[in-house]
Amino acid sequence: MNNRASQFFLELQETICRRLEEADGAARFRTDRWNHAAGGGGITRVLEGGALFEKAGVNYSAVSSTLTERLAKRLNTTEQSIFATGISIVLHPLNPYVPTVHFNTRYLELESGTAWFGGGTDLTPWYLFEDDTRHFHATLKAACDRHDASYYPKFKKQCDEYFYLPHRKETRGVGGIFFDYLKGNFDTIFALVQDVGNSFLDSYLPIVAKRKAMPWGATEKEWQLIRRGRYVEFNLLYDRGTLFGLETGGRTESILMSLPPDVKWAYDFTPVPDSPEEKLLGVLQHPREWV
Amino acid sequence: MNNRASQFFLELQETICRRLEEADGAARFRTDRWNHAAGGGGITRVLEGGALFEKAGVNYSAVSSTLTERLAKRLNTTEQSIFATGISIVLHPLNPYVPTVHFNTRYLELESGTAWFGGGTDLTPWYLFEDDTRHFHATLKAACDRHDASYYPKFKKQCDEYFYLPHRKETRGVGGIFFDYLKGNFDTIFALVQDVGNSFLDSYLPIVAKRKAMPWGATEKEWQLIRRGRYVEFNLLYDRGTLFGLETGGRTESILMSLPPDVKWAYDFTPVPDSPEEKLLGVLQHPREWV
């Protein structure tokens, strides 16, 4: 198995946690090292109850496991053993005006040597600020464009398609990029993955800086809690990474650290017409081009 | 299609909502009638913000729809059309000492006339009171025993197996009964289903009466919110009724009315050794016989 990818993910975890602690200013990450029953393990870092982040999870793993029959079928292979390494981040800010964000990159390698990268990042605001969304997408586009001009448009579309809740007829958020089964020359694709990884904080932290001091009240908090319910629905019903992890006997607390701290389900909640809440829904129902 | 089953479910919904309103004393059920795109529809009744119930949902439906390929495969049939009628109840009390409860019975009929009943009820306490659990199981056993002495032991075992979260190595609660694909003489099985339906309130309301005035504080509430997270995990990851409903284009708000009102995910939460919270976990990890 190739260890350059896992070494990069490990270092990225360290850098990102340090900079998120600086941004938060109050709370620190705890660190849990764990082993997978099948082989390998990971480091889970979680910050809770911060000034900025209600919950922030940054997970690194490098695991050798056995494919379940269902997963082998989906990957169109009969091979039984898989090496998977990756970094996965979900940040849940306290202030409803600061968007939740997800970032993940991973490298998978089958017994035969067949290998690929996957990953992506998507922004989930509870209130729409078009400038913020443009900044997020522009930063990702710049990282992609340095490698192949066809990447961003393709990955942006795949993101809207992947982070979609058919039972709600909504995207999870305002998108970003998503790619999977990226195969070919290791060095070429790894360079893209590194660039995307190194761009993550630049895509997100300037948005945090602009929104974190905005005052909010009960209306904004309730809306955030209800919309976080959609986040839970996506992760437990559809997210391939979550289901892959649980199916292959991954560490439950590390996989489900993506779930928001406080969540609310209100029956048939409908935003007030022409409210900022309804404006967000419009964009989730009809994804736009941002750059 | 047979309408006697759906008529019974409709009347049971009416009776149960009336008695739950009496028990709550403060809030009333709202009523939403809806149509399914494929044919038929339902009546969803939800009570929120009550004195006793933070959220109570009682759903009736009678829908003709088309089997998805995946569902047809699971049912081992190639038939495309299915009639499904049922009643589904989930009650989320405010007081952490009052258990959450679920009840559901349903009748399904394929184009060919092949038909079966399914259903069950299970109790999910956040604190273990052995007397309450014995009362719940004894009431269900009595209803089953009036029809066939082999039912309760079989259905009790199936309940422990069905309401199980493999990624947590826990049952959802202290069980009850669960049955599916009950085929044979319609009248015989329908009599059992009626008896179980008519016993539901007798199995649950006496427990409510004993626990509803117990004082609780922040510790009990936090535990309830965290355990409700497990309820969400079960429903979205494993519950066949939820997944069936969402896959067949059911009304999302009616299907997901089962989700708790307020929920919390805390990273790697572990109860204090020898606490009442830890005592509950012991029973969820090692299901017992109660009658």
Band of the pLDDT at B214, cuts 50, 70, 90?
A: very high
Please give the interface size between A and B, counted as residue pairs whose CB atoms are below 8 Å apart.
Answer: 74
- At B184-202, the pLDDT tens digits run 999 999 999 999 999 999 9
Per-domain boundaries in chain B: 2-285
Residue A37 at interface with chain B, using a CB cutoff of 8 Å: no
Kind plus residue range of the DSSP H or E element containing A69: helix A69-74
- At A104-149, the pLDDT tens digits run 999 999 988 899 999 999 999 999 999 999 999 999 999 999 999 9
Largest CA distance in chain A: 56
- At A60-92, the pLDDT tens digits run 999 988 877 777 887 777 777 889 999 999 999
Q: Residue B112: what pLDDT?
A: 85
Q: Residue B37: what pLDDT?
A: 82
Do residues B72 and B187 make contact, with C-beta atoms less than 8 angstroms apart? no
Q: What is the mean pLDDT of residues A201-209?
A: 98
Half-sphere exposure of A122 (CA within 13 A, CB side): 25
Band of the pLDDT at B248, cuts 50, 70, 90?
A: confident
Sign of the Cα pseudo-torsion (A200, A202, A203, A204, in order): positive
Q: What is the mean pLDDT of residues B47-62?
A: 97
Q: Residue B287: what pLDDT?
A: 96
Q: What is the mean pLDDT of residues B160-180?
A: 98
Chain B residues whose beta carbon lies within 8 Å of the beta carbon of residue A257: 267
Please determine, for residue A40, whether its predicted confidence score (pLDDT) is greater than 80: yes
Range name among A123-137, B60-74, B93-107 with the lowest pLDDT average: B60-74
- At A223-281, the pLDDT tens digits run 999 999 999 999 999 999 999 889 888 899 999 999 999 999 999 999 999 999 999 99
Q: What is the ipTM of this complex?
A: 0.95
- Structure tokens that stand for A196 in this block: 């995307």
Q: Please choose, from the candidates A9, A14, A193, the residue with its C-alpha nearest in 3D space to the C-alpha of residue A119.
A: A193
Please determine, for residue A220, whether its predicted confidence score (pLDDT) is greater than 70: yes
Sign of the Cα pseudo-torsion (A12, A156, A173, B234, in order): negative
Chain B residues whose beta carbon lies within 8 Å of the beta carbon of residue A74: none
Q: What is the mean pLDDT of residues B227-250?
A: 93
Do residues A156 and A207 make contact, with C-beta atoms less than 8 angstroms apart? no
Do residues A34 and A251 make contact, with C-beta atoms less than 8 angstroms apart? yes
Q: Please choose, from the candidates A139, A118, A105, A114, the residue with its C-alpha nearest in 3D space to the C-alpha of residue A10.
A: A105
Please enumerate in sequence order all residues whose Cβ is within 8 A of that of B85, keeping only pairs 6 or more positions apart, or say none.
B5, B6, B9, B61, B62, B63, B106, B107
Q: How far is A115 from B174, CA to CA, in rounded Å?
A: 45
Chain B residues whose beta carbon lies within 8 Å of the beta carbon of residue A268: 32, 46, 253
Q: What's the mean pLDDT when you consider all of chain A? A: 95
Q: Please choose, from the candidates B23, B17, B87, the residue with its C-alpha nearest in 3D space to the C-alpha of residue B50.
A: B23
Q: Determine the angle formed by the axes of helices B130-145 and B186-211, rounding to 10 degrees.
A: 160
Residue A268 at interface with chain B, using a CB cutoff of 8 Å: yes
Residue B252 at interface with chain A, using a CB cutoff of 8 Å: yes
Q: How far is A30 from B243, CA to CA, in rounded Å?
A: 36
Band of the pLDDT at A1, cuts 50, 70, 90?
A: low
Range name among A11-20, B38-47, B143-152 with the lowest pLDDT average: B38-47
Q: What is the mean pLDDT of residues A19-28?
A: 98
Give the bridge partners for B63, in sequence order: B40, B84
Q: What is the mean pLDDT of residues A98-109?
A: 97
Chain centre to alpha carbon of residue A186:
23
Do residues A29 and A47 make contact, with C-beta atoms less than 8 angstroms apart? yes
Q: What is the mean pLDDT of residues A52-57?
A: 98
Q: Residue A237: what pLDDT?
A: 97
Contact B264 A263 (CB under 8 A): yes
Residue B253 at interface with chain A, using a CB cutoff of 8 Å: yes
Give the CA distances from residue B60 to residues B41, B84, B133, in Å, rounded to whole numbers and listed in that order: 9, 11, 27
Q: Residue A66: what pLDDT?
A: 80
Q: Residue B1: what pLDDT?
A: 62
Q: Residue A245: what pLDDT?
A: 87
Q: Residue B113: what pLDDT?
A: 87
Chain B residues whose beta carbon lies within 8 Å of the beta carbon of residue A48: 266-267
Q: What's the mean pLDDT when you consider all of chain B? A: 95
In single-letter form, the type of residue at position B83 comes to F
Chain centre to alpha carbon of residue B4:
22
* Class of the CATH-defined domain B2-285: alpha beta
Looking at the partner chain, which of A167, A236, A267 has a beta carbon nearest the beta carbon of B48? Answer: A267
Contact B246 A237 (CB under 8 A): yes
Please determine, for residue B74, whether its predicted confidence score (pLDDT) is greater than 80: no
Residue A189 at interface with chain B, using a CB cutoff of 8 Å: no
Catalytic residues of A: 102
CA distance A244 to chain B (A): 12
Do residues B120 and B137 make contact, with C-beta atoms less than 8 angstroms apart? no
Do residues A202 and A17 make contact, with C-beta atoms less than 8 angstroms apart? no
Q: Where are the beta strands (DSSP E) in chain B?
A: 30-35, 40-48, 53-66, 81-93, 100-110, 115-124, 164-165, 170-171, 176-182, 262-264
Residue B209 at interface with chain A, using a CB cutoff of 8 Å: no
At residue B45, the 3 state secondary structure works out as strand
